[in-house]
Amino acid sequence: MARIVLGVGGGIAAYKAADLLRKLTEAGHEVTVVPTASALNFVGVPTWEALSHHRVASDVWSEAHEVPHVRLGRHADLVVVAPATADLMAKAAHGLADDLLTNTLLTARCPVLFAPAMHTEMWEHPATVDNVATLRARGTTVIEPASGRLTGADTGKGRLPEPAEIAGFAELLLRRADALPYDLAGVHLVVSAGGTREPLDPVRFLGNRSTGLQGYAIAAVAAARGADVTLVAANVDLPEPAGAHVVRVGTAAELRDAVAKAAADAQAVVMSAAVADFRPDAVVEHKIKKSGTAPEPLRLVENPDVLAELVANRRPGQVVVGFAAETGDAGATVLEHGRAKLARKGCDLLVVNAVGEGVAFGQPDNAAVILGADGSERAIGFGPKPLLAAAVCDEILARLGN
């Protein structure tokens, strides 16, 4: 169990912080909510106290004998600020401390995570841009806001990322405090995620168990680390990661075209999608009905090898990462199959993980070994999928640097 301070800024998105609070407490963490006075105009003290089971104050004078403005920051394992308004980040960047939350930010020596939420013009204003850069330069994590419907009828960049995504980043920083440095700025990263589907008729398809969780985790972590992320999503039903541009596809052919187009100017490509190896040689135009007799045998043809094509056509210096979801068999172990696939495909990195019933696909946790074409092997123990995502980003950055 970790001790988390949840700072809540004075924005309309404060109501979403209640869901974030519940996710953090249900994960077993002890959470103390520190709202600003403005935030209490949106969500009141009784709500925060009921959900956190702790007293809530916004000023330094309540229970002053306990010196809360020092105690909270010193004892916290993580501080999460959501929503982080433009005003709040400006105060943090310039060391201003006029309430309990800003005092806590000055005394905290643990990882600090800001989840911004504001109108697009405010996010893009030079003052906010400079303040965010200052915070990041000091080692503070400021994730990208999401795009979509804002307060009122307009849309744009500035929405609070989904509480589940923020909670995922919080868990990641608790596991690994250095997992989200702002070190991928200027890198265009293409990530494929999910599982392709090959139609048999207007109703049925050949598919696989991939849900896209791992690919979405890679996209989210990379965007938080500053990358310009294009996420090619095959049949994924998940909230879009904040800061990523999502291209939706269905079949292997559609994924192949979308990835090839995006990879044309990318520094790195991560092929984490489960791409169907085969497709029916013909698609029936109407729904296939029961006839009382066995249907004709289904004839399959091979799909293009998207990963091999990426390797063959990659730009100079481009890093290509493949995934190998293996089960092992009588002939070889999961890792042996992975090493053989790495040699066969010729990619720079191959992430090898075991799959099966209740393992990897659709699960929040994963374990893998990252194999390098240079002979390196990095084992990532069982943990949340963003933890593996951060390791993949580390390995990409190391090779881009070389």
So what's the pLDDT on residue 74?
Answer: 87
**What percentage of the chain carries pLDDT values higher than 90?**
76
Q: Rounded distance, CA 296 to CA 93, Å?
A: 68
Same domain, 169 and 274: no
Residue 279: inside a domain, yes or no? Answer: yes
SS3 call for 313: helix
So what's the pLDDT on residue 296?
Answer: 77
Question: Residue 359 pLDDT more than 60?
Answer: no
Residue 180: inside a domain, yes or no? Answer: no
Confidence class of residue 1 from pLDDT cuts 50, 70 and 90? confident
Domain CATH number, residue 331: 3.40.50.10300
**What percentage of the chain carries pLDDT values higher than 70?**
95
Residues contacting residue 122 through CB under 8 Å, at least 6 positions apart: 86, 128, 158
Residue 157: inside a domain, yes or no? Answer: yes
Q: Is 107 exposed, middle or buried (0-12, 13-18, 19+ CB in 10 A)?
A: middle
Q: Rounded distance, CA 72 to CA 34, Å?
A: 9
Domain membership of residue 391 as a residue range: 188-401
Q: Which of 154, 175, 196 lies at the terminal end of a domain, its last residue?
A: 175
Whether the model pTM is above 0.85: yes
Residue 181: inside a domain, yes or no? Answer: no
CA distances from 153 to 13, 64, 69, 119, 213 (A): 15, 43, 39, 12, 31
Helices 100-107 and 86-94, axial angle in degrees (round to 10): 40
Same domain, 293 and 255: yes
Q: Which of 114-123, 234-243, 267-276, 289-298 has the lowest mean pLDDT?
A: 289-298
Same domain, 209 and 333: yes
Same domain, 228 and 316: yes
Same domain, 280 and 335: yes
Query: Is 313 an active-site residue?
Result: no
Q: Which of 133, 152, 175 lies at the terminal end of a domain, its last residue?
A: 175
So what's the pLDDT on residue 360?
Answer: 57
Same domain, 241 and 98: no
Q: What is the number of structural domains in the chain?
A: 2
**161-208: pLDDT as tens digits:** 999 999 999 999 999 999 999 999 999 999 999 999 999 888 889 888
Same domain, 325 and 197: yes
Residue 220: inside a domain, yes or no? Answer: yes
Q: Rounded distance, CA 206 to CA 250, Å?
A: 11
Same domain, 90 and 208: no
Same domain, 248 and 383: yes
- Of the two residues 203 and 32, the one the predictor is more confident about is 32
Q: Rounded distance, CA 134 to CA 90, Å?
A: 10
**238-282: pLDDT as tens digits:** 999 999 999 999 999 999 999 999 999 999 999 999 999 899 888
So what's the pLDDT on residue 38?
Answer: 95
Confidence class of residue 290 from pLDDT cuts 50, 70 and 90? confident
Same domain, 206 and 168: no
Q: Which of 152, 175, 198 lies at the terminal end of a domain, its last residue?
A: 175
Residue 217: inside a domain, yes or no? Answer: yes
Residue 216: inside a domain, yes or no? Answer: yes
Phi, psi (degrees; rounded to nearest 5) at 117: -155, 120
The mean pLDDT of the chain is 91
Catalytic-role residue among 103, 131, 208, 303: 208
So what's the pLDDT on residue 307?
Answer: 95
Same domain, 193 and 331: yes
ω into 83 cis (within 30 of 0): yes
So what's the pLDDT on residue 61?
Answer: 56
Residue 161: inside a domain, yes or no? Answer: yes
Q: List, as own/partner pairs, every contact residues 44-52 make where C-beta atoms lie below 8 angstroms and the sequence separation is at least 24, other chains included.
A: 47/18, 48/8, 48/18, 48/21, 51/18, 51/21, 51/22, 51/25, 52/6, 52/21, 52/25
Same domain, 322 and 203: yes
Question: Residue 47 pLDDT more than 90?
Answer: yes
Question: Residue 65 pLDDT more than 60?
Answer: no
Domain CATH number, residue 54: 3.40.50.1950
So what's the pLDDT on residue 66?
Answer: 58
